[in-house]
């Protein structure tokens, strides 16, 4: 039920995508599972890919501040993006996770359960899991849009995972509200893209955003 990054195949219903006219956009949705004893836990989660057309003179969706024509239009592959929390624009796909160890899991569990921005989809002694919906939650025909995940393992390991740097920023700011946490171990995964001409999938190196200081998170000394 986590924010595992799996890139779908391009939909057959869109065989004529403009090679230099837009972005692939990845969405994650949650909806109740009517076949489960408790439809809300864990529910169903799915990822979908859509194509977002962008005119040459419009701002590039990668967030560079340049026009699309002067930025990502000439790339040989489609740039993957995902919506920012609250649907406030888009961000480049950059799947990543932050793991905090030796945390006060009981106190964290209580605080996260009370946070209206999160929805708990699993609550067991060895694992609790929340998905970031935001406040208010944003519904669509496919379900409620998810913007990241938080997992608490054995009440001592806390893991935040997100598909973009903008999403991870929101998650880490939310966790900073819990108080002082140990320095996290951050992992960046490769980004899979589609060649515009062949539509074959291949991996790019991870994108590593510049680290910014966050109140309440201890940093390791050099």
Has residue 7 been placed in a domain? no
Q: Are strands 191-195 and 185-188 parallel, antiparallel or unpaired?
A: unpaired
Has residue 59 been placed in a domain? yes
Has residue 109 been placed in a domain? yes
Average the pLDDT over 123-138 and give the result: 96
Q: What is the token pair recorded at 152? A: 């608490």
pLDDT of res. 21: 93
CA dihedral 186, 76, 59, 85 (to 10 degrees): -30
Q: Are 133 and 145 in contact (CB under 8 A)?
A: yes
Nearest CA to 5 out of 47, 65, 37 is that of 47
- Return phi, psi of residue 105, to 5°: -65, -35
Report pLDDT digits (tens) over 51-103: 999 999 999 999 889 999 999 999 999 889 999 999 999 999 999 999 999 99
Has residue 174 been placed in a domain? yes
Q: 210 falls in which pLDDT band (50, 70, 90)?
A: very low
Q: 220 falls in which pLDDT band (50, 70, 90)?
A: very low
Has residue 211 been placed in a domain? no
DSSP for 78-92, please give it.
EPEEEEPGGG-SEEE
- Return phi, psi of residue 168, to 5°: -65, -35
- For the chain, what is the mean pLDDT? 88
The answer to whether the Cα torsion of 135, 139, 143, 146 is positive or negative is negative
Has residue 47 been placed in a domain? yes
* Residue predicted with more confidence, 156 or 16: 156
Average the pLDDT over 210-220 and give the result: 38
Q: 5 falls in which pLDDT band (50, 70, 90)?
A: low
* Residue predicted with more confidence, 142 or 207: 142
Please give the tally of structural domains in the chain.
1
Report pLDDT digits (tens) over 195-204: 888 888 888 8
Q: Is 208 a residue whose pLDDT tops 90?
A: no
Has residue 80 been placed in a domain? yes
> What CA–CA distance (Å, rounded) separates 75 from 77?
5
Q: Is 11 a residue whose pLDDT tops 70?
A: no
Q: Are 161 and 148 in contact (CB under 8 A)?
A: yes
For residue 90, give its domain range: 22-204
Q: Is 163 a residue whose pLDDT tops 70?
A: yes
Q: Are 184 and 217 in contact (CB under 8 A)?
A: yes
* Cβ neighbours of 14 (radius 10 Å): 10
């Amino acid at each position: 039920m986590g924010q595992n990054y799996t890139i779908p195949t391009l939909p057959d219903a869109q065989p004529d995508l403009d090679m230099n006219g837009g972005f692939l956009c990845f969405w994650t949705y949650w909806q109740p599972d009517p076949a489960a004893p408790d439809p809300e836990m864990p529910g169903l989660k799915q990822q979908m890919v859509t194509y977002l057309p962008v005119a040459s003179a419009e701002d590039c969706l990668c967030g560079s501040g340049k026009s699309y024509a002067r930025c990502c239009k000439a790339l040989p592959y489609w740039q993957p993006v995902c919506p920012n929390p609250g649907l406030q624009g888009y961000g480049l796909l950059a799947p990543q996770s932050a793991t905090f160890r030796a945390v006060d899991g009981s106190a964290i569990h209580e605080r996260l359960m009370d946070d209206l921005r999160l929805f708990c989809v699993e609550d067991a002694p060895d694992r609790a899991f929340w998905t970031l919906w935001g406040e208010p939650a944003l519904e669509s025909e496919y379900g409620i849009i998810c913007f990241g995940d938080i997992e608490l393992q054995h009440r001592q390991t806390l893991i935040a995972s997100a598909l973009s740097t903008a999403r991870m920023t929101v998650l880490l700011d939310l966790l900073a509200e819990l108080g002082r946490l140990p320095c996290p171990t951050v992992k960046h995964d490769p980004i899979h893209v589609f060649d515009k001409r062949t539509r074959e999938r291949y991996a790019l190196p991870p994108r590593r955003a510049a680290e910014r200081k966050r109140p309440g998170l201890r940093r390791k000394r050099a």
